[in-house]
Structure 1
């Protein structure tokens, strides 16, 4: 690998949960804004050594690439908010983040959401403490993904969910809703955080009522909490979980209509007017 290191087979990353690229390309390709190594500063024109790579990824969901643990979250004047995850001997840092979504010390699997990028993603990689070119690391990841697919595996795993079949009012539109979430969900979270979009009081009050009722009925911590199920919700709470899902999906669709003028294709003109 670049950076005075030669790639050997023992450097291949092992991961029981599979592998995942750091982000899903929205338009089929992502522009490399700045490469690794000796570079010319895009603003000053001066020469400098770039210790990572920069991608043009405005508000992208950033994922864990394999089995790992969040080993650092910090901020500095050069790279802003950053999050580092350790995968075996590798340490991968995402920087210039709009938000960190995983807490320090969290154990993660391939595909778990770690953060939301800002206007670009700065990425650095170290192996056994020594800096390497992130492109070489990503090339290895892509090779592992390709090999898994050739062996009949999908490569990128599904996101973790509670082991329950939870019906919602949007089951018939599931594929379209998921597609819209891939495009707009980072913006939705960001605009809520910055106060540009406010959750309607009805939705907020309904959620408060649901969680109060759940606490009274001892729905929480029925099973041992985990990263995928931090409240320990069991099968008894399925009706409550369904109500929460309905409210959250409804609010996301409300945001799309209000901020972007985007509606489900199955919604008629009367439905749009109601929204």
Structure 2
């Protein structure tokens, strides 16, 4: 179990959260095969994507599965934001929590627009919902 220490400088990846696909094994909506889904998918429609923590942009890239994506790193923690339509950051940028980093899209292998969000710690995938719940609990405590 990883214990995350939060302060008031963390944000959610989207202004409104609505889960469309969870973490873990699932039937892939495009291929129809059972595969491990290392992140979550959040409903979106040209929504602004925010950095959930301060960090350094490790990757801004495109691949056929994730489409346009960003990897944000803070120590051993990596956050991946996928299927984007536009990005506002560059490789190597240091950014603060809450910084707008992209606009959601439908690039890569998708059935429709959404934000793919994944979290890894020391290169081991974590359930992003646990991470988001911790963020939400922290945000509520700081109100």
TM-score greater than 0.5 by the shorter chain: yes
CA–CA distance in structure 2, aligned partners of residues 45 and 68 of structure 1: 36
CA–CA distance in structure 2, aligned partners of residues 124 and 116 of structure 1: 16
CA–CA distance in structure 2, aligned partners of residues 69 and 120 of structure 1: 23
Contact 2:6 2:135 in 1 (8 A): no
Q: Aligned pair in 2 of structure 1 residues 112, 46: CA closer, same or farther (>3 Å)? A: same
What is the count of residue pairs matched by the alignment?
136
* Aligned-residue CA RMSD (Å): 1.6
| 1:13 Cα offset (Å) | 4.1
The answer as to 2:122 corresponding to 1:122 is no
CA–CA distance in structure 2, aligned partners of residues 13 and 113 of structure 1: 23
Q: Which has the larger radius of gyration?
A: 1
Contact 1:13 1:88 in 2 (8 A): no
TM-score by structure 2 length? 0.86
Contact 2:66 2:83 in 1 (8 A): yes
Q: Aligned pair in 2 of structure 1 residues 46, 116: CA closer, same or farther (>3 Å)? A: same
Name 1:76's counterpart in structure 2: 63
**Greater relative contact order (CA < 8 Å, ≥ 6 in sequence):** 2
Report which of the two has the higher share of strand.
Answer: 2
Match of 2:141 among 132, 140, 147: 147
| 1:87 Cα offset (Å) | 2.3
TM-score by structure 1 length? 0.47
Aligned pairs (5 A) from 1:95-134:
95-118=82-105, 119-134=113-128
CA–CA distance in structure 1, aligned partners of residues 27 and 127 of structure 2: 17
Name 1:64's counterpart in structure 2: 51
Gaps (5+ residues) in structure 2? 106-112
Name 2:108's counterpart in structure 1: none
| 1:103 Cα offset (Å) | 1.2
| 1:45 Cα offset (Å) | 3.6
